[in-house]
């Protein structure tokens, strides 16, 4: 293990250096400059080859050249960011094969930060939610094994339905370790749930658990249902929503910000990676106040929706700063059956704010009380079908109702600020 880590570190250094040298070589106009960078690259190649030869000849165990090279590639990609990776042929094949009905999951979204597995969110009613996993929990061990590689962790966590997996987590908020046993199951959820008029108010409430096929259409139907009850405000709950299908998130955002407006754009090093995504969903203009709830478990597509609504001034974002997971990965097949998953671009809000690793900061910051968190965890353990029809009015929802009420009271005197002209460019 120590050997492989050392090799990966060395390989990462080598390849990154080679990458920098090549990039610089493309920008240098003088032949002397190109010659210098080429010589530096050859020197690093020579060192790398020397180390490989040293390992093959002197390492305590015999290691094949194939294992050395594949290990070096894995280390190189993983050194870039938590989402880039080298996929060996067998792993790439697994990704391509439809495993519906054969494998179970836990209903958990995870990433790697500083070589530690971090929980983004646990979907309600799933095994991960039932054992009480929360955003920012650190997964230390899986079945007694320490794993710091995202895809090794995914492979370890997935498995046949009704089989068990044990994990050890560390919860930073209370600085405690927990040993948890989960049973894998087939994950299937409804994405738009808890559609209702909040008790003793004229405020509608819609919760979107994740963005999947049909989410936007279900959202529109739910919104039309609430509008038929003459709502005077709307709360959209994106807390613990880890994202999902970007196109569905863009359609939901389009309902809120209007047709043909910029929702999000990507920016990378190559021209084809710079793409603007505009709303195409046709829906009548929304005249009542809208509040979107976010927390540390809101990521990716949730952040795209919240960022677009915030930039276009079509609603208030309330809660806590979101997770900050918004980058584009391209899957590039290689001739030997392996593949590279490479981060090629990042998402930006319409006004040009970087989402990745920064998150969306709320307009109104409201943190849940300890009591609210306990109740919220209890609700997460149940599927929407298992819960009562009443929505638990936690501190963030109550504050959202207050914001909507105050907005309605002052709406006649308030002048609407026109959107930034840069948004439609």
**Chain position carrying tokens 């990966």:** 8
Residue 325 appears among annotated catalytic residues? yes
DSSP string, 136-201: T-EEEEETTEE---HHHHHHHH-BSTT-EEEEEEEETTTTEEEEEEEE-B-----SEEEEEEPTTS
What is the SS3 assignment for 322? coil
Is 324 in contact with 359 (CB distance < 8 Å)? yes
Is 112 in contact with 82 (CB distance < 8 Å)? yes
Instruction: Considering the candidates 78, 300, 322, 383, report the single residue annotated as catalytic.
Output: 300
**Chain position carrying tokens 């054992």:** 131
Sheet order of strands, 233-237 included: 192-197, 203-208, 233-237, 290-294, 316-319, 364-365
Residue 300 appears among annotated catalytic residues? yes
- In whole angstroms, what is the distance from residue 98 CA to residue 314 CA? 40
- In whole angstroms, what is the distance from residue 291 CA to residue 233 CA? 8
Instruction: Considering the candidates 84, 222, 325, 327, report the single residue annotated as catalytic.
Output: 325
Instruction: Considering the candidates 84, 311, 314, 394, report the single residue annotated as catalytic.
Output: 311
Closest by CA position to 67, among listed 75, 208, 322, 147: 75
- CA distances for 216 relative to 236, 357, 412, angstroms: 13, 26, 31
What residues act catalytically? 300, 311, 325
């Amino acid at each position: 293990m120590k050997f492989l880590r050392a090799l990966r570190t060395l390989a990462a250094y080598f390849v990154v250096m080679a990458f920098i040298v090549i990039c610089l070589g493309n920008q240098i106009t003088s032949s002397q400059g190109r010659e210098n960078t080429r010589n530096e690259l050859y020197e690093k190649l020579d060192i790398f080859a020397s180390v490989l030869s040293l390992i093959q000849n002197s390492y305590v165990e015999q290691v094949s050249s194939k294992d050395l090279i594949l290990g070096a590639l894995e280390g190189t990609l993983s050194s870039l960011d938590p989402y880039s990776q080298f996929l060996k042929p067998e792993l790439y094949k697994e990704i391509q094969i439809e495993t519906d009905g054969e494998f179970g999951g836990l209903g958990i979204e995870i990433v790697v930060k500083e070589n530690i597995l971090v929980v983004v969110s646990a979907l309600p009613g799933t095994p991960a939610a039932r054992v009480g996993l929360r955003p920012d929990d650190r997964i230390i061990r899986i079945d007694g094994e320490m794993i710091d590689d995202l895809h090794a962790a995914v492979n370890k966590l997935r498995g046949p339905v009704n089989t068990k997996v044990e994990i050890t987590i560390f919860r930073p908020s209370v600085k405690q370790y927990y040993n948890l046993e989960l049973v894998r199951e087939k994950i299937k959820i409804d994405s738009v749930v808890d559609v209702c008029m909040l008790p003793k108010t004229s405020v509608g409430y819609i919760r979107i658990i994740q963005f999947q096929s049909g989410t936007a259409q279900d959202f529109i139907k739910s919104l039309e249902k609430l509008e038929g009850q003459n709502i005077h405000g709307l709360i959209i709950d994106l807390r613990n929503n880890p994202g999902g299908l970007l196109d569905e998130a863009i359609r939901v955002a389009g309902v809120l910000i209007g047709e043909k407006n910029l929702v999000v754009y990507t920016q990378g090093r190559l021209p084809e990676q710079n793409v603007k995504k505009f709303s195409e969903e046709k829906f009548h203009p929304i005249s009542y106040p809208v509040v979107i709830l976010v927390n540390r478990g809101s990521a990716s597509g949730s952040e795209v929706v919240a960022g677009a609504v915030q930039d276009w001034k079509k609603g208030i974002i309330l809660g806590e700063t979101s997770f900050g997971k918004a980058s584009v990965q391209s899957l590039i097949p290689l001739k030997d059956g392996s593949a590279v998953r490479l981060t090629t671009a990042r998402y930006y809000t319409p006004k040009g704010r970087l989402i990745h690793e920064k998150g969306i900061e709320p307009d109104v910051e409201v943190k849940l009380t300890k009591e609210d968190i306990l109740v919220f965890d209890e609700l997460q353990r149940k599927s929407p079908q298992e819960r009562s029809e009443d929505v638990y009015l936690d501190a963030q929802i109550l504050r959202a109702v207050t914001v909507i009420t105050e907005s309605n009271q002052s709406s006649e005197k308030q002048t609407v600020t026109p959107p930034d002209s840069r948004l439609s460019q």
